[in-house]
Structure 1
Amino acid sequence: MHPVDTFELVLSLLAVVVALHWAAQRAGFPPSIALLIGGGAMAFISGLPPVELDPELALVLFLPPLVMDGAYYTALGRFRRHLPGILSLAIGAVIFTTLAVGLVVHWLVPGLPWAACFALGAIVSPPDAISARAVLHRVTLPRRLSALLEGESLLNDATGLVLFRFAVAAALSGVFDAGAALSTFIVHAFGGVAAGLAVSALWIFAVRHLRDSTLIIMANTLMCWVAYIAAETLHVSGVIATVIAGLVLGWYQHIILPARIRLRGAVVWQTLVFTLEALVFILIGFSLRGVLDRVGGIEAVTQTMAVPIIGVVLAVTVARFVWVFGTDLVQYALCAMGMTYPRPLGPRKATVLSWTGMRGVVTLAVALSLPAAMPGRDLMLVTAFAVIFATIVLQGATLGWLIRMLKPVDRDPPAQMSMAETEAAIERARAEAMEVHAYAPDGTLIHPNLLDESRKRLEIVQRYAADEEGYAEGFRLHFEVQQRTLAAGRAELLRIHRAGLIEDEVLHDLEHDLDIEELAIILQRGE
């Protein structure tokens, strides 16, 4: 395809994304499902060129920014509190699903080597961060479930990718070394953590020395790809490196980024994430045509692959239920023995958690990267597509209904301070700062307009317009005092958050209000 044609196709896909997203919102349907089905339908339109989604490009283009976005907004306190459950899902559930799918595939297709069966299991085992985000944005979950699902989606790809690489190597060579697989996984995980921390340190240094807001926003945007590519170049987990970088960015951005950069950067970042997230689903559907052409069309699929495909979809779904409910029974047993943590989820939350195993771009990219000599490659490709479609369409469309029917109760202890109490604490800190800065050292009130701003605003502007040079200094001090009180309020908000007294959502909401107020002051000063 000519480069100009490729560009025009991308523009057309973006226009389709807008139309499908709008239609899905009007119909009350999850946009991810509309995009997936719409892309699949477009793939068979006569005259449209086929789309080949390069697996390496798909991973490096889409995965880092969307994983970074999830990590950036992760409630770090809840992430740490529920880390055992997150690791159980991100490591234990992925391994268990890989084994379960491998056993089912070998039972249904006895001629397929064991290593190839487990390679297929590794392809479809990790739930996808992008698919989970797209569906979970539309539902309200208890905080513990949200923490488990967000954390799982950030970490499980690393487990699935390591399992896949070793299974493929075993299928092609006939040799599998469990010890080497375990050591490689440990090196990948801890190496990814180290790479993420190193990139984060460079980011902090760069942001503190850059003066141009556009350059800082660009540095923030590029951070996800730098972390991922640097880690993959060092042969460690790029996913984990990106997660660590996102967590660090989410933690330190409150301190080192000015309000105007945080607000401007948020718009740029949200637009980028929306575009990439939407393109992922429409390109998954669009790639269906090429896969079906390679395996001989829909007739070949229905005649020779239908039974193993249905078996894998059921195995993937049932394996997650077995793992979630099995670990919950273990937690019940531990509670009966006197252990108070971790608490069992209970059947309602366990059912919801079991039904949230949507697969997506990682499953597709890994399947497309299968070597041509891989036994059962065609079956793996079609099965990967079937699992993606079944989990996103079936589970994604019914998740909201399931939550409304089961009504899982949020039993996590609430934060010690509410939104209203936090706002009161911020205002107290700002009032105390105003008392300090509104008076001269001799006790003279030098900023009465700040004590009664609503009646003095017009007078200030008129006096400034009449005598710009004479009033410039007082006008400047007026806004400096306002900014000092804002800084005091911001410091109090961060102190409350760092002390663990409020949830991350409260921090983001109130910080956004302070940022807008500070930006208004900056604009009034003409900066």
Structure 2
Amino acid sequence: MDPIHLFELVIVMFMAIIALHYAAHRLGLPPSVALLAGGALLAFLPGLPAITVDPALVLVIFLPPLLMDGAWSIALGRLRRHVIGIASLAIGAVIFTCAVVAMAAHLMFPSLPWAACAALGAIVSPPDAVSARAVLQRVKLPRRLQILLEGESLFNDASGLVLFRFAVAAAVTGLFSTTDAVTSFFLLAFGGALVGIAVGTVWVLFVRRLGDEYLIIASTTLLGWLSYLLGEMVHVSGVIAAVTTGLIAGWYQHTLLSAATRMRGTSFWTVIIFLMEATVFILIGLSLRGVVERGGGFGVVLATMGGPILAILIALALARFAWVFGSDLLIRLCNALGLKRYTPLGAPGATVLSWAGVRGVVTLALALSLPEGFPGRDFILVTSFAVILGTVLVQGTTLGRVIDWARLTEPESEKARLTMSQAEAAMAKAQLATVQRRAYDGQGNLIHPQLLERYQRRAVMIVDYAERTEHYVPVLHAHFDVVLEAVATGRRELIRLHRAGDIDDETLDELERDLDLEELSAISAKS
């Protein structure tokens, strides 16, 4: 394709993303569903060339920054607290699901080699980080379920990639060693973690010496790719490397980054991640044409593969339910024996966790990377796409209803020791202590009376608010409504003065920035 036409196609795709997101918002649909369906429709538009997706390129472009973003913002304390549960899902559930799907595939097609069946299981077994984020952004979950799903989506790709690599090698060479596979997995994971720690440490030292916020934002943007590529270059897990780097950078960003850097960087990064996530679903939809054509057309695919694909989809869902409910039963047995370190999820929580296993870009990329001539390649490719389509369209659209049905509550053990109001009160007291110390000169004379009075009044108000939150919420909402109205009035007057030529552009920009900060502060305080 001509480079100019390729660029035009990219711009059209971004415009389609905006239109599909808007349509999803108006129709109350998950954006991932609208994007996937929109991409599939675009793929069959007359005159549009067939889109071929390079799987290696897709993984290296989209996976590292999305993993980095997830690790950057994850709750590290809860991640440590639930590391066993996350490992159970990211490793145990992936291996178990791979085995169940392989057996189902071999039952449907006895002529398909076991190694090829295992490759299919490895391709569809890990729920996808991008799809999980797209689903979780629209639902409200208890913290424990949220961290289990987020942690699983960050680490399970490494398990799936290792299983896939060994399954393909076994299919091509006819050789497989369980010992070698287990050893390889731990070496890849450990090596990836070391690479991630090294890159994260270098970033911390580097940022401490950088004085330019734009250089800091630019270097942080490249961090996920750098860690992933370096990990792959030394033949360890790039996934684990990117996640580890993201965890380190996310932990230190609170002390390393200035307020301006954090605000500007967050705004920039949010737009980048939005476009990347949306592009992934569009690309998945666009690849439908090639998948269907390889299968011989819709009619042939439905007639020859419909039944086996449906059976594999059911096996995939049942395997996750079996693993999650089995793990919950094991926790209950341990509790009955006196080992009460972990609290069972219960049937409603386990149902939600089981239903949230949505597949996406990693599944598609692994399927497309199968070598030509691989046993059952067309069937594996069509099945992989059907799994993505089925989980996104069915589970992605119904997860909210499942959560509503479950009526989940937050366990006391997962609740923070302090509420936000109590934390704000503690922060106000610490600030007041600093102001009280600095409000007097060396001779004990009060030199900042207004500042001291302001912080004393603020501390009293915040402490009182923390003790009587329900009483103050309506008053504060009304207060900040007035603030926002005043900001809007000030903005209109500022624009009028600029349009009349009474103030120059520099004055407009300076005063408008003050109004923007005041507006953001009011919106944050009101929410």
Q: TM-score w.r.t. structure 1 length?
A: 0.85
Deviation at 1:446, TM superposition (A): 2.2
Instruction: Kindly indicate whether the alpha-carbon contact (under 8 Å) linking 1:367 and 1:384 is maintained by their aligned counterparts in 2.
Output: yes
Deviation at 1:69, TM superposition (A): 1.1
Deviation at 1:285, TM superposition (A): 0.3
Amino acid at match of 1:232: E
Amino acid at match of 1:450: L
Q: Which residue of 1 aligns with 2:400?
A: 400
Instruction: Kindly indicate whether the alpha-carbon contact (under 8 Å) linking 2:43 and 2:50 is maintained by their aligned counterparts in 1.
Output: yes
Q: Which residue of 1 aligns with 2:189?
A: 189
Amino acid at match of 2:447: I
Matching of residue 148 in structure 1 with residue 109 in structure 2: no
Report the CA distance shift for 1:305/1:263 in structure 2 as closer, same or farther (over 3 A). Answer: same
Q: Which residue of 2 aligns with 1:78?
A: 78
Alignment of 1:84-123 (within 5 A): 84-123=84-123
Q: Which residue of 1 aligns with 2:199?
A: 199
Q: Which residue of 2 aligns with 1:417?
A: 418
Deviation at 1:299, TM superposition (A): 1.8
Matching of residue 342 in structure 1 with residue 324 in structure 2: no
Alignment of 1:362-377 (within 5 A): 362-377=362-377
Q: Which residue of 1 aligns with 2:427?
A: 426
Matching of residue 12 in structure 1 with residue 19 in structure 2: no
Deviation at 1:412, TM superposition (A): 4.2
Q: Which residue of 2 aligns with 1:30?
A: 30
CA distance in 2, matches of 1:389, 1:285: 9
Structure 2 gaps of 5+ residues are 460-512, 519-527
Amino acid at match of 1:353: L
Instruction: Kindly indicate whether the alpha-carbon contact (under 8 Å) linking 1:143 and 1:412 is maintained by their aligned counterparts in 2.
Output: no
Matching of residue 241 in structure 1 with residue 241 in structure 2: yes
Instruction: Kindly indicate whether the alpha-carbon contact (under 8 Å) linking 1:128 and 1:359 is maintained by their aligned counterparts in 2.
Output: yes
Instruction: Kindly indicate whether the alpha-carbon contact (under 8 Å) linking 1:193 and 1:240 is maintained by their aligned counterparts in 2.
Output: yes
Amino acid at match of 1:133: R
Instruction: Kindly indicate whether the alpha-carbon contact (under 8 Å) linking 2:67 and 2:242 is maintained by their aligned counterparts in 1.
Output: yes
Report the RMSD for the aligned CA atoms in angstroms.
Answer: 1.6
Matching of residue 438 in structure 1 with residue 429 in structure 2: no
Instruction: Kindly indicate whether the alpha-carbon contact (under 8 Å) linking 2:89 and 2:152 is maintained by their aligned counterparts in 1.
Output: yes
Amino acid at match of 2:315: A
CA distance in 2, matches of 1:320, 1:453: 57
Displaced runs of 4+ in structure 1, greater than 6 A?
A: none
Deviation at 1:451, TM superposition (A): 3.5
CA distance in 1, matches of 2:453, 2:27: 49
Give percent identity, aligned residues only: 54
SS across alignment from 1:14: helix
Q: Which residue of 1 aligns with 2:490?
A: none
SS across alignment from 2:445: coil
Deviation at 1:448, TM superposition (A): 3.1
Matching of residue 125 in structure 1 with residue 125 in structure 2: yes
Instruction: Kindly indicate whether the alpha-carbon contact (under 8 Å) linking 2:72 and 2:249 is maintained by their aligned counterparts in 1.
Output: yes
Amino acid at match of 1:173: T
Instruction: Kindly indicate whether the alpha-carbon contact (under 8 Å) linking 2:436 and 2:452 is maintained by their aligned counterparts in 1.
Output: no
Q: Which residue of 1 aligns with 2:217?
A: 217
Q: Which residue of 2 aligns with 1:494?
A: none
Deviation at 1:445, TM superposition (A): 2.2
CA distance in 2, matches of 1:428, 1:192: 43
Amino acid at match of 1:119: A
Instruction: Write out per-residue CA displacement over residues 133-192 of structure 1, whole angstroms, 9 at most, x where no aligned residue.
Output: 001111011111111101100000000000000000000111111111111101111011
Q: Which residue of 1 aligns with 2:485?
A: none
Deviation at 1:452, TM superposition (A): 5.3
Q: Which residue of 2 aligns with 1:172?
A: 172
Instruction: Kindly indicate whether the alpha-carbon contact (under 8 Å) linking 2:43 and 2:286 is maintained by their aligned counterparts in 1.
Output: yes
Q: Which residue of 2 aligns with 1:515?
A: none
SS across alignment from 2:179: helix
Structure 1 gaps of 5+ residues are 455-484, 486-518
Amino acid at match of 1:178: T
CA distance in 2, matches of 1:440, 1:7: 64
Report the CA distance shift for 1:412/1:60 in structure 2 as closer, same or farther (over 3 A). Answer: farther
CA distance in 1, matches of 2:299, 2:137: 37
CA distance in 1, matches of 2:145, 2:37: 28
CA distance in 2, matches of 1:412, 1:206: 41
CA distance in 2, matches of 1:210, 1:300: 60
How many residue pairs match? The answer is 460
Deviation at 1:409, TM superposition (A): 2.1
Report the CA distance shift for 1:83/1:356 in structure 2 as closer, same or farther (over 3 A). Answer: same
Q: Which residue of 2 aligns with 1:482?
A: none
Deviation at 1:453, TM superposition (A): 6.2
Q: Which residue of 1 aligns with 2:501?
A: none
Instruction: Write out per-residue CA displacement over residues 267-318 of structure 1, whole angstroms, 9 at most, x where no aligned residue.
Output: 0110100000000001100111012122211122112111221111111111
Q: TM-score w.r.t. structure 2 length?
A: 0.85
Task: Tell which deviates more after alignment, 365-374 or 439-448.
Answer: 439-448
CA distance in 1, matches of 2:10, 2:364: 20
Q: Which residue of 1 aligns with 2:262?
A: 262
Deviation at 1:327, TM superposition (A): 1.0
Amino acid at match of 1:92: G
Task: Tell which deviates more after alignment, 412-421 or 428-437.
Answer: 412-421
